[in-house]
Amino acid sequence: MYTLSSKLKLFSIILMAVGLIGLAIGFIVAPSTIEEVKEMVASHDGHGESHAAPGQIKSDLSEDPDQGLEFVPSEHEVQTGRTDDNQTQLGTNVDDHENEHYEHILHQLQNKPWAALYVAAFFFFMIPLGVLVFYAIQWASQSGWSPVLFRVMEGITSYLLPGGVIIFVLLVLSGLHLNHLFIWMDPEVVENDAIIRNKSGYLNVPFFLIRAAIYIAGWAIFRHFLVKNSNRLDEAEPNDLYYFKKNFKLAAGFLVFFIVTESMMSWDWIMSLDPHWFSTLFGWYVFASMFVSGITMIALVSIYLKSRGFLPFVNDSHIHDLAKFMFGISIFWTYLWFSQFMLIWYSNIPEEVTYFVSRIEDYGILFFGMVVLNFLFPVLLLMNSDFKRVNWFVVMTGLVILLGHYIDIYVMVMPATVGESWFIGLSEISSLLFFGGLFIFVVFTSLTKAPLLARRNPFIKESEHFHY
Amino acid sequence: MASKVIHAIYTDDDLLLQAVKQVREARYHIGEIYTPFPVHGLDKAMGLAPTRLAITSFMYGVVGFTVAVVMMNYMMIEDWPMDIGGKPSFSFLQNMPAFVPIMFELTVFFAAHLMVITFFLRSKLWPFKAAENPDVRTTDDHFLMEIEVANHNTKDLTDFLYQTGASEIKLIDNK
């Protein structure tokens, strides 16, 4: 039986407290009027220059042939979706135009703490979801190596419900117009935008919230019964496999339910932030991100518990297998990232390519940096078979992968919500700390609720002696 | 000088593994072992050095990647930088996404094929090579362990091998 050390408890509470304070400051500091924005821009002298009104990008570029070094030919840079509202107003006088520019920045800055909260909430929510998928796959495939890790996975998935509720609350707050994360929720925008109007059969607040509730409730219910049956199996008679068979079917059912809901979830919660844009493999792409983060978290928590002496039955071969999954799914993620990017880059259709134009222009370092973190690091560090058995190596790579996938979510959400006004500052780090603390607290508390070895699982003997 | 070897034949892989351990403990020198299928743990039991084939494969992959990059850079960027459907062929980096499929395939191609060829060379396998198995049954259901007699007493060695469960023991004179 695992006992939560008071140090870890204190640590997670401190993280949550510091995160909350930081978040509160982030919300207070966000400007509420155009005058404040003007002051802020004026105080960053010279900085405002690079953030010139989006409507002016055209002239800037034609003066500067060096811009041709961007990935995308410069004539396409004019047509970014974010400048739509400005371009329709180009005929008006300079003052109006400037005010509109500041209003644009005001909206972005007001979105910033919300978006930071949303990114971190989603990032920590997708980890237990990825773990739950991995867990269900282990049941459905009747794996012989992983049952010793079942309780670790069950512990991590305990964050699914609280994390899901937080996401849902954030979505409800968006639906109540407390923020402008989802522009299609703004009736004024919908009225003036035929593209969004045509999608309003799917993208409307009540249906959106109902769907979100179905996803979260569905996943949480499946998780609840999978874990419950797994615990009941421990109490069962030695040859009674009733709960094992039940979980096998339940896991298979969950995987079917998941792949449908996950795909829709990614359209709803992330792709709809850019309601003018769509991509068919987006669901898979988000899935790869959550899957690899989840597996990485299993490895990290297992290594932590093992180092504290709570998992004597977990050997290097188990860690080796997890590291292989981290390696393989990292490559899978890169494959999807590249497929999505390259297909759109290659055909360069204006209505699709704006998505990447805004990301490469404003988020270049993050957009390409995350490929280094999520692909190059794992590939080079985890390719060697011996390295996959060295625990600190796996931990180090795991932290890089988690950071990379945080940035991945960041780059999915931020360009649509705060645009070029992004900065990884107080709000972003605070929300990471807050959700990190909550995650640690929930997960490790739930790990104390059941013995760390699933005794009666029919594969447990094989798993304990697993050797690669 | 003619050297002598003993061929001990086993009919079970578990027995063979056990025998290998005993033979090594008794400090007799095992020359070769012929088996009809891979016996898991045999290399460890024999104390063979791990293979370095994976390392060569990695290096061949790097070579393939380099070939692809140099080739595409020369052909598409330096030699004839044509405007093909508006693709930016001003520098390699600008047009790189279009080259990635080729870079990937050539990396895999070099890594796989050169590694296989390395394997053939290192294990001396080629068409029309004379087969080396000392007893045709080793390709079907028998396991053969070859032990160098050197300066050990043949009688003692034979007795010892008999104890390890060998079903057949032959003394072979290598000319």
Please give the pLDDT value at position A62. 42
Q: Identify the pLDDT of residue A332.
A: 97
What is the reported pTM? 0.88
Averaged pLDDT, A377-385: 92
Q: Cβ of B97 and A341 within 8 Å?
A: yes
Q: How confident is the model at residue A428 (pLDDT cuts 50, 70, 90)?
A: very high
pLDDT of residue A1: 81
* Same structural domain, B91 and B114: yes
Residue A418 placed within a domain: yes
Average pLDDT along chain B: 92
In this predicted structure, what is the pLDDT of residue A367?
Answer: 94
Residue B88 domain flag: yes
DSSP character at residue A437: H
A282 vs A132, A288, A352, CA distance in Å? 20, 10, 13
For residue A172 the two structure tokens come to 């409800």
At residue B149, the pLDDT reads: 85
Is A82 a member of any domain?
Answer: no
Q: Which residues of A touch B90 (CB under 8 A)?
A: 68-69
Q: Is A387 at the interface with chain B, CB within 8 A?
A: no
- pLDDT confidence bin for A421, thresholds 50/70/90: confident
Average confidence (pLDDT) over A20-26 = 94
B157/B109 same-domain check: no
Residue B170 CB neighbours (<10 A): 14
Measured over the CA atoms of residue A214, residue A217, residue A220 and residue A222, the dihedral's sign is: negative
- pLDDT, tens only, B109-164: 999 999 999 999 999 999 999 998 889 999 999 999 999 888 888 888 888 988 88
Same domain membership, residue B145 and residue B118: no
CB A105 within 8 Å of CB A37 = yes
- 3-state class (DSSP) for residue B147: strand
Report the pLDDT averaged over residues A274-293. 94
For B46-59, how does the pLDDT look when each residue is reduced to its tens digit (9 = 90+)? 999 999 999 999 99
Distance, in Å, from the CA atom of A465 to the CA atom of B19, rounded to the nearest integer, reads 24
Q: A285 with A337: CB under 8 angstroms?
A: yes
A78 or A97: whose pLDDT is higher?
Answer: A97
* B46 belongs to a structural domain: no
Q: In terms of CA atoms, which chain B residue is nearest residue A345?
A: B97
Same domain, B64 and B117: yes
Residues B58 and B111 in one domain: yes
> Is residue B132 assigned to a domain?
no
Per CB-CB distance under 8 Å, the chain A contacts of B94 are: 69, 71
Q: Mean pLDDT across chain A, nearest whole number?
A: 88
**pLDDT, position A58:** 43
- Within a domain: residue B42? no
Model pLDDT for residues A192-218, shown as the tens digit of each residue: 999 999 999 999 999 999 999 999 999
Number of structural domains found in chain A: 1
Which residues on adjacent β-strands are paired with residue B172?
B5
Average pLDDT over residues A75-97: 52
pLDDT, one tens digit per residue, over A26-78 is: 999 888 888 778 777 777 654 444 444 444 444 444 444 444 444 444 444 44
| pLDDT computed for residue A243 by the predictor | 93
Q: Assess if residue B129 is contained within a domain.
A: no
Mean pLDDT of B74-101: 93
* pLDDT at residue B1 greater than cutoff 50: no
Whether the CB of B90 is below 8 Å from some CB of chain A: the reply is: yes
> Which residue in the block uniquely carries the two structure tokens 């403990």?
B25
Query: Cβ of A307 under 8 Å from any chain B Cβ?
Result: no
Residue A101 lies in a domain: no
Say which range, A99-108, A229-238, A247-256, B64-73, has the weakest mean pLDDT: A99-108
What span, in angstroms and rounded, lies between the C-alpha atoms of B105 and B57? 14
Mutation target among B52, B57, B91, B94 for the A interface, most CBs of A within 10 A: B94
Does residue B112 sit in the same domain as residue B83? yes
Q: Does the beta carbon of A392 lie under 8 angstroms from any beta carbon of chain B?
A: no
Higher local confidence (pLDDT), A169 or A100: A169
Do residues B32 and B58 both lie within one domain? no
Q: What is the pLDDT, as a whole number, of residue A394?
A: 95
Q: Is A132 among the domain residues?
A: yes
Write down the pLDDT at residue A248: 96
Same-domain status, B61 and B106? yes
Look at residue B130 and tell me if it is in a domain.
no
CB pairs under 8 A between A and B: 22
Reported as a pLDDT band with limits 50, 70 and 90, residue A318 is very high
d(CA A89, CA A141): 58
Contact (CB, 8 A) for A227 and A135:
no
Q: How far is B155 from chain A (nearest CA, A)?
A: 40
Q: Which domain holds residue B112?
A: 52-123
**Average pLDDT for A313-339:** 95
ipTM over 0.95: no
Question: Do B107 and B72 sit in the same domain of this protein?
Answer: yes
Predicted pLDDT at A79: 47
Q: How many helices (H) and strands (E) does chain B have?
A: 5, 4
A185 Cα distance to chain centroid: 21
The alpha carbon of residue B67 is apart from the nearest alpha carbon of chain A, in Å, by 20
Report the alpha-carbon distance of residue A106 to residue A111 in Å, rounded: 8
Three-state SS for A218? helix
Mean pLDDT computed over B74-84: 94
Residue A426 lies in a domain: yes
Q: What pLDDT does residue A44 have?
A: 64
CB of B86 less than 8 A from some CB of A: yes
Model confidence at A116: pLDDT above 70: yes
**Is the CB of A383 less than 8 angstroms away from the CB of B88?**
no
* Across A315-330, average pLDDT: 95
Percent of chain A with pLDDT strictly greater than 70: 89
On whether any CB of chain A is under 8 Å from the CB of B104, the answer is no
Q: What is the pLDDT of residue A47?
A: 46
* A140, part of any domain: yes
A100, part of any domain: no
Residue A77 belongs to some domain of the structure? no
Does B85 contact A at CB distance below 8 Å?
no
Domains: count for chain B: 2
At which of B81, B97, B123 does a domain end? Answer: B123
Provide the pLDDT for residue B2: 60
DSSP-assigned letter for residue B78? I
pLDDT at position A202: 94
- Tell me the residue range of the domain where A42 lies: 6-52+113-464
Query: Which among A159, A83, A84, A79 has a CA at the least distance from the CA of A122?
Result: A159
Chain A residues with beta carbon closer than 8 angstroms to that of B86: 73, 348
CA of A342 vs chain B CAs: smallest distance (Å): 6
